[in-house]
A and B are shown apart, each in its own frame.
Chain A
Amino acid sequence: MALSREQMAQRVARELQDGFYVNLGIGIPTLVANYVPDGIDVMLQSENGLLGMGPFPTEDTIDADMINAGKQTVTARKGASIFSSAESFAMIRGGHVDLTVLGAFEVDVEGNIASWMIPGKLVKGMGGAMDLVAGAENIIVTMTHASKDGESKLLSRCSLPLTGAGCIKKVLTDLAYLEIENGAFVLRETAPGVTVDEIIAKTAGKLIVPDDVVEMTF
């Protein structure tokens, strides 16, 4: 069975380490905050200028001046700091964020990522995604392995305009966890009940299947 959105978030959360500063993108990445393992404390960075994002506010503590990068009302946790957009992206660009999790349309064997623009459709903008992928050492891309009509999103070469070049090393899809090494996807883990054959069939880019592939457990 393919992973649910919640299971994908749960799997990503296992990459969190105590003391990490983490930037979570919109969508599945946001859900990662719900699965921070016990005994681990992380600080969430929101690129509009908040380090230490807390939960959503209650109805009576809602504050128009307190939002996250998705423009949702949020709170600040104990130990939070608030700063300008220039400072926020200095942290991001300067490589100070330990883990960045974001969605994508496509990734390829060279570590290229396309996530913001589909030619022919209206382009709304890249927001902070280009800065995040250019600045972070440790990025996990979360996305479905294939499109609804079965087209692989793990390619030899991205077909859409890029968000960043050569910057992605880890991809979690609904079918598998893979790393990108030396021009190939390397299968590390399969979703429970998903066969290696299905993953091979749905991966268009070069795929290496080592002997020690493990099945995820939840």
Chain B
Amino acid sequence: MAGLDKRVATYAEALAGLTDNMTVLSGGFGLCGIPENLIAEIKRMGVKGLTVVSNNCGVDGFGLGILLEDRQIRKMVASYVGENALFERQLLSGELEVELTPQGTLAEKMRAGGAGIPAFYTATGYGTPVAEGKETRQFNGRNVILEEAIIGDFAIVKGWKADHFGNVVYRHTAQNFNPVVATAGKITVVEVEEIVEPGVLLPTEIHTPGIYVDRVILGTFEKRIEQRTVRKA
């Protein structure tokens, strides 16, 4: 890792500086496009007291779910957490705090965080439990609530291909939250299936420009499928 070359060789290097009580943003939707090896490295590191921001919290034994096993997550910010028995147990016992956030608001909070916008008004959640304690206003007759941006100490991202400069492209719907998460980390770490030579990725096809990315690491991925659904050939 030197200058504009963002490549690192080991997962330990990729997450160097991550310590207890930090906020970690993670890309992914369900188990699709999750930074599975970076999550596994966080488990190995054993850091605790984390606030994790991600649309979901994995499943038992895979994805962010593995960080529950050693109680590394203190607070989870997510839109849907339904697939995880350990999560339920820790939530009910009070060991884990959860802040349920509408999915679009969650994406926009990180988009805003990465774009230097401290807060924004949205109609999403007005008149619901989500609005409790939040400032409300009316614009053009529409009731809205004030939502604050999110910035992470670390952002962990799963890309498809990246070059040395940290330019990233995502594959299919494994894109999901990853590009917004990538913009909102003080340190953004991207793991990819392939690192290509500079110039291979066309400037017009880059999803995440390298300016947002601090470290790039090459990984191999299980890519577990949550709901395997097929039609007859």
Contacts and interface: CB of A to CB of B under 8 A. Distances in A.
Interface of A: 46-50, 55-60, 62-68, 70-74, 76, 82-86, 88-89, 92-93, 112, 117, 122-131, 134-135, 161-166
Contacts of A59: 230, 233
Given A47-B103, A89-B108, A127 B80 contact: yes
Contacts of B176: 48-49, 84-85
Interface residues of B, number: 57
A85 B126 contact: no
Interface in B95-130: 100, 102-108, 110-111, 122-130
Nearest to B128: A162
Main secondary structure on chain A at its contact with chain B? Answer: loop
B124 A124 contact: no
A161 B231 CA distance: 38
Interface of B: 29-33, 55, 78-82, 88, 91-92, 100, 102-108, 110-111, 122-130, 143, 160, 171-180, 207, 223-233
Contacts of B178: 84
Main secondary structure on chain B at its contact with chain A? Answer: loop
Most buried by B among A48, A85, A86, A166: A85
B127 A165 contact: yes
B129 A117 contact: yes
A165 B128 CA distance: 7
Contact of B227 (A71, A85, A130, A131): A71
A67 B30 contact: yes
Nearest to B109: A86
A127 B103 contact: yes
Contacts of B128: 130, 161-165
A40 B216 CA distance: 46
B121 to A, nearest CB: 11
Given A59-B233, A63-B172, 16 more contacts: A46-B173, A47-B104, A57-B229, A58-B232, A71-B29, A72-B227, A73-B225, A82-B173, A84-B177, A85-B103, A112-B127, A124-B80, A124-B82, A134-B125, A135-B123, A162-B127
